[in-house]
Structures are given as structure tokens and as C-alpha cells.
A and B are shown apart, each in its own frame.
Chain A
């Protein structure tokens, strides 16, 4: 960014040189002296200025891409460190758009706005010095116009700024309404309300136009001031120089000015206001960056409690459990009332109870996704120093299908897992059953922009993940909540076979799932509170 600013200021020096040599060339030209050297210098300096300008853009873009790349990386890292307990509370689409568009909004600020700040001061300063060397009066006209200009713009802008904030909210609401009505179009059609809503959209948009124009009439005043002051200053300089050259200097100022110097001053004048013009165009860049910072802030607020992977896996499946484990969230809600239980090694244990009783919280606490407020995790009966992360596979209610092939979805992008093992996991989980019917078998693309799978099929992929990773412990959070009877039976059947030799803990409120469990931990009596 310093480079961008430096080049930004340098181009004003180059421009002053250009204007000077252009003036000299013209004067030489009209007085019949050789002008070629000055002409050459004019074009050379114009080229130098063009190069500085290009360099300034380039440096700004470099700075901005570097910042955005690094912010995105850090934001993704912060998100991963904060874990599911954090990401669950925010809509995942919103998080994805923060990492994508939110970060992009920093662009204008780092590419243009920030580098422009030193230029705002340095550029005009160079031009004033250059003008002053020729004519003090010319320099004074420029110098006087600048603060008047800034003051006038500030006055005109202050009222508009407040109004434009409301404006932004209205615009978001209007865009939001349009997006919402397209997304809910099915429902609108079902209730015969779509045509009516089209009229509503037209009315809202027109209302928006009327309100916006009221704001803009004021907001554009600041640019009116900018244009007016710069045009009048140019006119004043032109008239001043012209009269001086006609030997009718105003109040005796500017006597002895040559034609070359006069044209030089005239060429300088419009450039003097360029940084302010660019500033008023880049003004919204700052607001954008502030909005982006606001949306990114939750990711970086407070301390990330990165739950690191636990100790090296013990050989064989351990027994796991809680001893007086209790979870109270930072906002005071109780996630889990004190609970003690043990899930025996190599068996399937159910965490049983209605929704909201804390079943999922138990699993998250075991994984270290939410910290225990009191009590401890027990592994093989001994207090565990770290949660089960790294030893336990996780299967949620609706497994996510990631953007990648089915095989990548099973290996979760771990390239050290051999194809044979992926295949074996797909067989054992029953995923192979439907994979052979897919267009490209295990290499079929899945995820948001690929092939969709049914709920039962997705659960089998999730099971295959657990088998491919060969984890000794399996934690399942209501794996059959969204499956119908037949799909549920199929899943449970595969699970009981695949789970042999592993410790399985399954949160569920389904009687069929309960039936395959060797032991039941009943939480229905426990008060979770809310």
C-alpha cells in the first residue's frame, strides 16, 4: 500500500513536469524557436505519469489481494478453531457468504481508499509548490480553494451521510424482499398470491425510488460543490493568467508571466482536484469495509478455544463416559444437568430422551466441541485429560455431503487412505449398494453443485467415513431422525454389523434405534432446563 501511495504521489510530480514542458513547448512553438526537445520531454513525462498510474493500480490490487487472501485464510482457521458449537449458532449460508463476499468487500478499502489517503495530501501539495514556483497568486487560488472545498463538501456530506445509512437499510430491505419472494415463490403460487406480490414488489420499488431520490438530492450536493469550486477555480486561474498576459494584471499580480507559464498553470488546475474527486468516488469503499469487518468480527472476537486432538489412540475400543458432567453455556443456559454414565467398550449404548434433554450436548462435550463446566470425561474408567477428538467418529442428523467425489466424501480428502480401504468402507456401510447406480460410481461428484443423495444414502456415506477412518469410538447424534421406517431399519442393520469391536454411543428418540442398543442411558428424567 505504501508503494501504491508513493506511485500515486509520484504521478503528480510527473504530471507537473508534463504540464511545464507542454507549456514550454507551446511557447517555443509560437515564438518560432525549436520546440522539439520540449515536445519530446512532454510525451516522455506523459508516459512516465501513465506508468506511475498503472503502477499505482497494480500495487493497490496486490495489496488488496494479499490482504483478502490472508483474511480469508485466517477467518477459515478461526472458524475451524471455534468449532461446531460456534458454527451451529449461525446460519451456514451466512457464514459461507461472510468468508466469500464479506472478505471481498475489503477490496475497495485496501486497493483504493487506504493508498489514496497520503495521495490526498501529497499530490496537491506537489502541484501547489510547482504552481508557486511560477506564480504565487496561482498557487494561492488553488490553496484557498482546497479548504473551502473540503469544508463545503463536509457540510453537504454530513447530512447526506446519515440519510444514506437509512437508505442502505431500505435498499437491503428491498433487495431482501425480492430475494425472499423468489425463494418463497412456491408458497406464493400455492396461495394464489404470486401475482399480487408482483404488484407489491413494483409498489415497494417505486416507494424506494421516491425515498432514495430525496436522499440523493442532498447527497449529490457535495459533488455539486466539488464540481463548482473546481470549475470556478479553473476559470479564475484562466482569467487571472489571461489578464496578466494582456498586461492588465489584476491588482498588479502576475506581472511578467509568460505564455508557457500560463498554460502550465492552466493544465495544473484540473489535476489539483483529482484526488478529491477520487476520494468522493471511493468513499463508499470505507463503508463497505466497515460492514465487512462487522460481519467478520464474531469469528475473531474473544479467545478461540482450539480443541486439539487427544492423545495417541489406545489400542482397542475403550469404554467412555462422563462423571458428573455438566454444561452451562456462556449465556447462562444449561445445556446438560450433571450426568454420570459409562458406555461399555465394544457395545452400542443409547442416549435416550425427548428432544431438548441434552443428548446432543453429551456427545459434543465428549468431543470437546463444548467445554464441560463441571465434572470430567472418563476413558476406560480413568479421568481423561483431553476430549475424544481424534479417537471418535461423528455421525450427525443430516450428514453434510461435501463438494467432491463420493470417494473423497468417504476419505474426507485424506489422500493417504488407499482406494481399497475406501472401497471396503463403502461395502461395509452399504454405500456401495447405491454407488454402483451412480453415473460414475465412487467418482461421482457430490455436494452443493453435484449429485444429491437421499437422507438414507447420506447416512451410509457418513458411516463409511467412520469405517474408513477406522476410529475405535462412534458417536451418533439422532442418525435416523430424518429416515423413514425402511431406511431406518436398513441403517441400523448395517450399523450393528459395522460397529463390531467399536464403542458406539447413539443419541436417539427412535424406538427402533433403541432396540438395537445393548444398554440405554435414559436422560428423560434429567432436567436440561432451557
Chain B
């Protein structure tokens, strides 16, 4: 409940809308009660012949009949509007909490699964306000209204009806929430298992079929699916019991209120009024029970989101960052680094220098620590031991954003966001003009790619847009790095998965970019021999240590770390 309360509080800026929605929901329920109760009273009193003013009664019936649909319509508009406002706030809030955790902190949380869950959790909380707050307010107002009526007309019936209603609208939901927790957890675990097995079947089909194992994985999937549906059945059993209890509760309230009202001396008209009011009040209990059925899921989502939000990032922005110098020479001194949660260091006592204009390749077996240097330079991870100097300044004294302004990253994923080509290119330079974009595209040999797209720069990429091939995406990512105007490129396995001609084009573009200004420099992490030729110097890392360092041509030779990595390497030219 504490976690849900936290997210309810998050909606405070929009409280006025929520209050208005709740008030309208209360009016709707009360109008419904009024309509049926006054109708009953009118009929009973008419039959008893004791109706002083038939006109007033018919007017009352008509008024409630008109009020109810109108207030219901207004309520739905107001609560939906409020929900969308809060939904926007919740998304932005979550996103802003994730920013400082990225990427070091998120990687530590076992990435993929968790990131996928965040979006599911946010979706699960979408209905929190609409499904919890409004029905609670309406039920409370309805109960209060009926209580006032009973207190005046049939005080004897008051405790019994309040008890019946509280049992249905509060007791039943609480029991339901408790009972649904276990089955709900089992259902979501089993859903994840079904997803995993289905993913195995889809992604591993070539292997599975070769060994005749596709049948076995299908059986595992069927089994998980059966366990899932059985948990769902348990949840449905609760729904079933709840609906039966509610269906019985309303008539029971009708009979009780009538009987006790008459016992208290009320006339036929008043007794029917009380009975029908108690009967109609139960309309307010059903949404609460429904909300309780989803309580467990929301509670878990809220707890998970809050847990993420309470994490702090590893890289701290200094309170008073130093103004950056105009230079971008890098010096790394005695840097040691281990990934969070890992005991083996990725880098141990590494020192190297990257003066302006340098072109350095960093190579080594996988797991040798090559990529971690780029991640530290990007300020994705802190500098735990040693010092990294940028333009003569300790990077930990600079604003991380200033550091990232000096470096532009190109990695093997060449991740493009789901947006237009133009927005993708302007990611690091929001104000860049089309002319600058085309120049960068030409330099990256991506201008033909973009020209061939259906809407040129306006073509939508990603999930809802055109798909690009790996090579095309890589070239656009390179152009994106060029557009930023950063004087230094950090490239992490940028040609992974490209074949020789595409790789050659990519490296030529990189060379052209560096040639255009002698102060430009790049750091290139790779395990491909051909890529190393694009650099002037290379460093070979072995288990976090620098094994070799120097001009590329000087590294070859029998039984060196370099020749172990690249037995086939022949220097270019």
C-alpha cells in the first residue's frame, strides 16, 4: 500500500481533476440510488394512497433520470482526462529517474528483462487512479447518502445495512486482494516462463529441428502454458465468488432494510424507499471488488518502479563543475576498473595518452577490457582508481555532459531511435541545419542510403518505420557522430558483422573525416585485423593489462600478443 500511496501522491499536481472526477462519480451513484429509491417510494406510496404530491414525486424521478446520464458522461470525460495527464507525468517521471542510472546502473540490474519490465509496470499503473480513487470516492459518498437517509427514516436498519455494505465494498476487496496475491504471482511467473520457452522455440528453431528437439521444447511450452492457465483459473475462481457474493448482497440488503424499516414503524412508502436505496447502493461495490482483483499486480509494479527510482547513478555530477578547456587531448594514468558486481578487473593500471590528432586502435581478445576504456571515457562508469585527464583537466571535476560533448560514440549496435532520419542525425546537435546533415551523410557515404528512402530525411526509422540493413544503420550512426561536431570519435567494434567491402567504405569515411582537420582524433576498439590499419598506433590489451603498444607495423613479430591474436596479419601497403 505504501508503494501505491507513493504513486497516488505523484498525481498531486492533477489533484483538482481527480477530485472533480470523484465528485462526479459520487453524483452518478447517488443519482442512480435516488432514481430507483424515489421510484419505489412513489409506487408504494401511491398504492397506499398516502401520496400528498404526485407531481413532486414524478419530478424527482425525472430529475434523477436526467442527472444520472449527464453526470456519468461528465465523470468519464474528467477522469479520463486526468488519467492521461497523470500517465504522461508517470512516464516522464520514470524516464527521468532512469537517466542517471544509464547505462552503468541499468546494466547492473541485468538489463534486458528489467527494462522490458519497467514499461510493463508503467502500463500497469495507468489504471491506478481511475480504478482505485474514483470508485472509493463514489462508494463512500453513496454509503454516506444512504446512511443519512436510513438515520432519518429507519434508524434500526442503519447498522445492518452499513455492515452488509462494508463487508461487500471493503471486506470482500481486502480478502480478494490477499487471496489473489499468490495466484497473481504464479500467473506472472508462468507468463514469463511461457515467453522464455516461446522465445527459445522461435529463435533456436534451426538447431532444435536438427536434433528433433523442437517437439521437446514445444512440450515444455505446453506445460508452462498449462501452469499459466491454471493460475488464471484460480484468479477467475475469485472473480466468480465475488460476483456471486455481490449478486446476493443487494437483494439481502433490500429485504433487510425493508424489514427493519417497517419494524421501526416506517410506512410502506418510506420502507420501500429505504429498501430500494440499500439495493441500489450495491452498484457502488462492484468496481471496488474489480479493483481489488488487480491490486496485487499494481502493488508489485509500484514496488518495482519505486525500487528502480531509489537507485542512484554511479557517475556523479560535481556540485561545482570546472569549466572545460578548449582542448581534447586525453591522458589516462594508472587506471584500474572492474565492472560492478565483478571481481576480476577489466582494466588494471592502464596508462596511455591520446594527443589531439591521434588515431589509436585498441585491440585484444574478448574480455580483455577494450570496451571498458571507451565506457569510462564516455563517463558511463566512474573512475574508481587512477586519473583520466581531458584537455588537462581531471574528468571527474567536469560535468559529464561537457565530457560527452567532446566525444562522439559509434558502437557495433549503431542504435537508431524510433524517429525520423533527421531527428536521429540531430540527436547530438539539436539545431543542425539540413545542409550540415547532408554534408555529414556524404562524408559517411550514407547520402545515397537516405536519398533512396521513401521520404528522405523525413523517413521514420525503427519500430514503426523503414528497416535499414546493418551496414546502412552503421553509416547513418557514423554520420550522426559527425554531425555533433565533437573533435574525437570513440568507436567500439564499429564494423562488427560487416563484410569486407562495407568495412572498407566505413573505414575510408573515418579516415576522410580525420584528414579534414588535423586536431581530430579517434579511438577505435576492434578485434579485426583490417580495421587496425585505419589507425596509426595500436595498443594490445591482455587481461586488463597493456601487453603491447606502438605504431601498428612495429607490433607484429613472432610470439607477441599481437601475432597470437592476428596470426594471418600482413601490414597494409
Contact = CB atoms under 8 A, between A and B. Distances in A.
B44 interface: yes
B564 A68 contact: no
Interface residues of A, number: 145
Q: Provide the main secondary structure of the chain B interface.
A: helix
B417 A238 contact: no
Interface in B170-205: 191-205
Interface in A459-518: 462, 465, 469, 471, 475, 481-487, 489, 509, 511-512
A224 B69 contact: yes
Given A72-B225, A208-B84, A235-B39, A53 B247 contact: yes
B99 interface: yes
B335 to A, nearest CB: 20
Given A54-B244, A180-B463, A484-B527, A400 B417 contact: no
A449 B306 CA distance: 22
Contacts of A213: 77, 80-81, 84
Interface in B278-318: none
B395 to A, nearest CB: 15
Contacts of B89: 202
A205 B88 contact: yes
A198 B96 contact: yes
Nearest to A191: B428
Contact of A393 (B77, B210, B565): B210
B210 A367 contact: yes
B209 interface: yes
Contacts of A232: 65-66
Given A227-B73, A399-B207, A57 B243 contact: yes
Q: In the complex, which range does the number of interface residues on chain B fall in?
A: 35 or more
A94 to B, nearest CB: 8
A168 interface: no
Nearest to B366: A484
Contacts of A25: 255
B42 A205 contact: no
B212 interface: yes
Nearest to B191: A100
Contact of A263 (B43, B66, B193, B210): B43
Nearest to B248: A50
A185 B99 contact: yes
A92 B198 CA distance: 9
Contacts of A209: 81, 84-85, 87-88
Interface stretch (A76-84, A123-131, A373-381): A76-84
B544 interface: no
A258 B268 CA distance: 14
Nearest to A212: B84
B43 A79 contact: no
B466 interface: no
B213 to A, nearest CB: 4
A177 interface: yes
A95 interface: yes
B76 interface: yes
Interface in A373-421: 389-390, 392-396, 399-400, 402-403, 412-414
Given A76-B221, A99-B194, A449-B196, A193 B428 contact: yes
Contacts of A39: 255
Interface string B24-52: 00000000000110111011101111010
A263 B68 CA distance: 21
Most chain A CB atoms below 10 A, which of B39, B196, B416, B527:
B39
A182 B198 contact: no
A47 B248 contact: yes
Given A43-B252, A176-B418, A83 B205 contact: yes
B565 A180 contact: no
Contact of A400 (B98, B118, B203): B203
A235 B46 contact: no
B473 to A, nearest CB: 12
B428 A182 contact: no
A259 interface: yes
B240 interface: yes
B199 A192 contact: no
Contact of A76 (B72, B222, B405, B427): B222
A480 to B, nearest CB: 12
B147 interface: no
A118 interface: no
B61 A186 contact: no
B99 A389 contact: no
B57 interface: yes
Contacts of B3: none
A192 B61 contact: no
B517 interface: no
Contacts of A90: 202
A345 B122 CA distance: 58
Most chain B CB atoms below 10 A, which of A26, A190, A456, A465:
A190
B504 interface: no
A448 B213 CA distance: 18
A413 B195 contact: no
Interface in B437-464: 462-464
A212 B126 CA distance: 15
A304 interface: no
Most chain B CB atoms below 10 A, which of A25, A100, A217, A462:
A100
Contacts of B258: 26, 29
B42 A238 contact: yes
A258 B44 CA distance: 10
Interface stretch (B231-239, B326-334, B383-391): B231-239
B88 A202 contact: yes
Given A76-B218, A263-B44, A389 B252 contact: no
B272 A22 contact: no
23 contacts: A50-B245, A57-B236, A84-B206, A99-B194, A100-B198, A181-B417, A185-B106, A186-B415, A194-B99, A194-B102, A205-B91, A231-B35, A234-B35, A242-B51, A242-B54, A243-B46, A259-B44, A354-B499, A367-B209, A367-B210, A394-B210, A396-B207, A454-B367
Interface of B: 35-36, 38-40, 42-44, 46-49, 51, 54, 57-58, 61-62, 64-66, 68-70, 72-73, 76-77, 80-81, 84-85, 87-89, 91-92, 95-96, 98-99, 102-103, 106, 112-113, 115, 118-119, 122-123, 191-218, 220-222, 225-226, 229, 232-233, 236-237, 239-241, 243-245, 247-248, 251-252, 254-255, 258, 262, 268, 271-272, 365-367, 378, 380, 401, 404-405, 408-409, 415-418, 427-428, 430, 462-464, 480, 484, 496-497, 499-501, 527, 529, 564-568
Given A26-B272, A354-B499, A403-B200, 10 more contacts: A26-B44, A57-B240, A79-B201, A87-B202, A182-B118, A238-B39, A242-B39, A258-B47, A403-B193, A485-B567
Going nearest first, the 4 A-B pairs with the smallest beta carbon separation are A205-B88, A238-B39, A400-B204, A227-B69
